[in-house]
């Protein structure tokens, strides 16, 4: 009876060591995945900051004013009326 109990305890210890090793290996693989996704997240945050800066630049009044100056828009442009004789009316 004593030999059976000792072999049972030895088998239980070997089983628990095997389970511990399996959990350790799974933890390492999950750690690698976490590290990968943290790197991806930091890359996406950096891209987000760059896109926000581009959007702010596109929405800025200085860019709009410089584009207006390039296209010869003035502060007070004269409107074009179709009643003037130099423009043909579509009738």
Question: pLDDT-based confidence at 6, cuts 50/70/90?
Answer: confident
44 assigned to some structural domain: yes
Tell me how many helices (H) and strands (E) the chain has. 2, 0
Q: Return the pLDDT at 27.
A: 95
For 25-46, what is each residue's pLDDT tens digit?
A: 999 999 999 999 999 999 999 9
Question: Which residue range is the domain that position 7 belongs to?
Answer: 2-63
DSSP class of 60: -
24 assigned to some structural domain: yes
38 assigned to some structural domain: yes
53's tokens: 């800066």
Q: Return the pLDDT at 67.
A: 79
For 41-90, what is each residue's pLDDT tens digit?
A: 999 999 999 999 988 887 888 877 787 778 777 666 666 666 655 655 55
7 assigned to some structural domain: yes
């Amino acid at each position: 009876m004593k030999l059976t109990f000792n072999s049972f305890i030895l088998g239980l210890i070997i089983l628990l060591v095997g389970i511990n090793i399996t959990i350790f290996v799974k933890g390492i693989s999950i750690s690698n995945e976490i590290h990968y996704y943290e790197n991806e997240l930091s890359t996406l945050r950096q891209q987000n900051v760059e896109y926000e800066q581009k959007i702010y630049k596109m929405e800025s009044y200085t860019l709009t004013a410089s584009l207006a100056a390039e296209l010869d828009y003035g502060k007070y442009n004269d409107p074009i009326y179709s009643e003037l004789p130099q423009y043909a009316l579509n009738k």
